[in-house]
A and B are shown apart, each in its own frame.
Chain A
């Protein structure tokens, strides 16, 4: 046994030495790595973010992604940018039910806020999980006729003819040339930096402030199985993403005009299921739900309290469906709303 250990130690040191001998001097050039900063509230509670090995965060990549995100150059008539529907002051969504894309065309889904995207561990994006990574997602809006209505070849040609972009792509990827893959990689790097973790509730978790009595009561309504019971789908103080990122039917409709996850999987058991949104930043992200049907948080709370619609795929967690829902008192509703608003992160709406 002892002999064996000595063998190992000796062998390992010689191997290390051999490897050291082989290493060429590092070529110091190319983009500068900039690891994603993980906020303390996340670091102490949940798993690290998902970062693809083939698209590392870099200073130059993020800067390029940011420029692309706010630039209408990717759209067919140069009028629509990502930021048109994902604007900073709305926690990177917009304030309309459906979004005004190119030529004033509208889709049938409410735009989604963009934050903490690297913590979507299953990497299923969109309301219905149709995109399997952030990079894959970013391919979609440019050619979507309701969004940017462009072709990739036209978008890439516009970037190539631009005065600045060719150099910025060179800086970000260390090689000449622009293609759609580089565009989506840069956009994704920028999107991963959109981290929101500075709400009142985050500061409460960090021990920096106390909740008001109303917020504390609201948290209880949120957590109690006999009251709101929201936490089985929307996170809890130990999961400050405030979503499970899974798909549920939360009882919006008795019949579905939009099948949601069911259209993606082809499984009728998935009809009417959509991804639970995070409850962060609700103060800035109205209207609510996949089709933006509720203009206010009061309407959302009323829905869960007395507006539930029964259907085959309604989630078992939706209680007292025959009575319309959990029937919260007016005080519980007000407290719940106060708690929900404590999850909003004012500073995020001025994200640089």
Chain B
């Protein structure tokens, strides 16, 4: 017995020291974490804000954010020489239930000064496979087959003061745009690449990503929840507008 333990310790030692050379290289891979924070034109949104009509949108309507969850995928690190590393996979952020606000990337990334870090908002068509992901099915993230199947990109819900001065629910759900009016379904892609800009992993291996929720309602399309507050999933034009407004919602943001 004693002998065995001796051997085990000795071999563990070999295991560690034998590999140490590799770890000391400057661009050795390290674990990287993405963190997500959310604000309304700079004012931070947390779980405590849910249910209060405290945000004024660009169209002058007072509104609340009760539910916010969204999906990102294919995080990519680009080097100045044009080479890039894409980490296949996806991640669901749920602000309401306070889950997924921190995402430890599934694979280590070499320490380098990257010229750009990007991700896909939602799923690209290759990844947006109906029913393919058991964890997403389990939280009912699906889009019905009649709307093309696959998954939601975002669910943003709450209340707003409507034109008749009544508190009314809105459901701002983002999916791939689909037009069911004709004989055959017509689709338009609404996932998009979010470019965060340069990131130097030797400075920090945590990358903060901020979503300015107000931007979804601002530009280029000034959003009127009275008109576009409900039943947006089957609304082709609304989906394209959500896609357009989405271009400016994300930014690198390392405020804790």
- What residues of chain A have their CB less than 8 Å away from a CB belonging to chain B? 1, 3-4, 7-8, 10-11, 14-15, 18, 21-22, 45-47, 121, 220, 223-226, 229, 231-233, 235-239, 244, 269, 312-319, 321-322
The distance in angstroms between the C-alpha atoms of A236 and B135, with both chains bound, is 14
Determine the chain A residues whose CB is within 8 A of the CB of B22 once the complex forms: 1, 4
**Chain B contacts of A21 at CB under 8 A?**
1, 4
Given A239-B137, A239-B140, check contact A315 B11 (CB 8 Å). no
Contacting chain A: which of B13-21, B30-38, B107-115? B13-21
Shortest distance between the CB of B57 and any CB in chain A (Å)? 15
Q: A residues within 8 A CB of B189?
A: none
- Give the A-B contact count at a CB cut-off of 8 A: 110
Contacts of B145 in A (CB 8 A): 237
> Which residues of chain A come closer than 8 Å to B142, judged between CB atoms?
231, 236, 238-239
- Contact between A45 and B131, CB atoms less than 8 A apart: yes
In the complex with contacts A235-B140, A244-B139, A316-B169, A45-B4 CB distance below 8 A? no
Kindly identify which residue among B7, B137, B139, B168 contacts A14, using a CB–CB cutoff of 8 Å. B7
Q: B234: CB under 8 A from chain A?
A: yes
> Is there a chain A Cβ closer than 8 Å to B104's Cβ?
no
User: By CB atoms of chain A within 10 A, which of B12, B22, B135, B145 has the most?
Assistant: B145
Evaluate contact between B169 and A7: CB separation under 8 angstroms: no
Choice from B12, B168, B170 contacting A11 with Cβ under 8 Å: B12
A112 to chain B, nearest CB (A): 20
Contact across chains for B138 and A46 when beta carbons are under 8 A apart: yes
Between A and B, 7 residue pairs with Cβ closer than 8 Å are A7-B11, A10-B14, A18-B5, A47-B135, A237-B145, A312-B51, A314-B169
B137–A45 CB distance below 8 A: yes
Determine the residue in chain A with the shortest Cβ distance to B4: A18
B231, A7: Cβ atoms closer than 8 Å: no
Asked if B50 CB lies within 8 Å of chain A CBs, one says: yes
B215 at the interface (CB under 8 A from A): no
Contacts of B78 in A (CB 8 A): none
**Contact A223:B146 (CB < 8 A) given known A47-B135, A316-B158:** yes
Asked if A15 and B233 make an inter-chain contact with CB atoms under 8 angstroms apart, the answer reads: no
Cβ distance B181 to chain A, nearest Cβ, rounded Å: 13
Q: Given contacts A7-B15, A18-B4, are A220 and B137 in contact (CB under 8 A)?
A: no
Q: How far is the CA of A208 from the CA of B19 in the complex (A)?
A: 55
B134 touches A319 (CB 8 A): no
Check if A319 sits within 8 Å of B231, measured CB to CB: yes
Chain A residues contacting B158 (CB-CB under 8 Å) are 316
Nearest opposing residue in chain A for B7, CB measure: A14
Q: A223-B146, A316-B171, A319-B169 are in contact. Are A47 and B138 (CB under 8 A)?
A: yes
Taking the closest CB of chain B, its distance from the CB of A312, in whole angstroms, is: 8
Min Cβ gap A87→B in Å is 29
**Known interface pairs A22-B1, A46-B137, A226-B234. Does A8 touch B67 (Cβ–Cβ under 8 Å)?**
no
The reply to whether B8 and A317 contact each other, CB–CB distance below 8 Å, is no
Write the chain A residue with the least CB distance to B135: A47
Interchain nearest-CB distance for B92 vs A (Å)? 13
Interface residues on chain B, number (Cβ under 8 Å): 45
A224 touches B144 (CB 8 A): yes
Contact B170 A316 (CB under 8 A): yes
Alpha-carbon separation in the docked complex, A244 to B69 (Å)? 15
- Which B residues are in CB contact (< 8 Å) with A321? 168-169
* In the complex, the 7 A-B pairs of residues with the closest C-beta atoms, listed nearest first: A316-B169, A223-B144, A11-B11, A316-B157, A7-B18, A238-B131, A269-B51
Q: Check A225/B131 contact, CB under 8 A, given A1-B22, A3-B18.
A: no
Residue B66, interface by CB 8 Å: yes
Q: How far is the CA of A229 from the CA of B232 in the complex (A)?
A: 12
In the complex formed, the residue of B with least CB distance to A119 is B138
User: What is the CA–CA distance of A238 and B143 in the complex, to the nearest angstrom?
Assistant: 9
Given A4-B19, A224-B144, A316–B67 Cβ distance below 8 Å?
Answer: yes
Residue in A121, A236, A318, A321 whose Cβ sees the most chain B Cβ within 10 Å? A236
Task: List, in ascending order, chain B residues with CB within 8 A of A238's CB.
Answer: 130-131, 137, 142
Q: How far is the CA of A229 from the CA of B231 in the complex (A)?
A: 9
User: B23 to chain A: closest CB distance in Å?
Assistant: 10
Which partner residue on chain A sits nearest B136 by CB separation? A238
Q: Is B166 an interface residue (CB 8 A)?
A: yes
A122: nearest chain-B partner, CB-CB: B97
Q: In the docked arrangement, what's the CA distance between A15 and B155, Å?
A: 50
Cβ contacts under 8 Å, B173 to chain A: 225
CA distance A325 to B14 in the complex (A): 70
Contacts of A319 in B (CB 8 A): 169, 171, 230-231
* A238-B137, A315-B169 as given contacts; A4 in contact with B18, CB under 8 Å: yes
- With both beta carbons as reference points, the residue of chain A lying nearest to B151 in the complex is identified as A238
B159 within 8 A of A: yes
Residues of A within 8 A of B12 (CB): 11, 15
**What is the distance, in angstroms, from B133's C-beta to the closest C-beta of chain A?**
9
Cα separation A4 to B134 with both chains bound (whole Å): 37
